[in-house]
Amino acid sequence: MIISMIQILFEVPEVDSIKEKRRILRSVKDKLRRRFHLSAAEVDLQDSLSFAHIGGALVSNSKDFGEQVLHKALAMIEQEVPVRIQDVRIHSEAF
């Protein structure tokens, strides 16, 4: 069993409230779940107005497949979500 994980730190520009930031994050997490079958959650910076930290995970039987899905998920965020990505980490572990 392979667990592939992604951590994304991004800036959410032009938001005026935590409520608006959470709306954007909910949309990102829902897209990750629906399109890529990832488990996703906001893992840090919950009280920051400008920044967010999301983590996602996928269970599969192949490191290559898992990381390929995570790269596609990252590309979707870059193209469809109005955020500035600051840092990305993708990692897989075998269990």
Question: Rounded to two decimals, what is the model's pTM?
Answer: 0.85
Name the phi and psi angles at 54, rounded to 5. -115, 140
Rounded CA separation 37/62 (Å): 15
Please write the tens of the pLDDT for every residue from 1-46. Answer: 999 999 999 898 888 888 888 898 999 999 999 999 999 999 988 8
Quote the number of domains for the chain.
1
Strand 51-60 to 2-11 pairing: antiparallel
SS3 (DSSP) at 87: strand
57 or 14, which is more confident? 57
The answer to whether the Cα torsion of 6, 91, 71, 88 is positive or negative is positive
Range of the domain at 12: 2-94
* Tokens (6 digits) for 86: 């600051």
pLDDT at 2: 94
* Identity of residue 7: Q
CATH code for the domain of 37: 3.30.70.1120
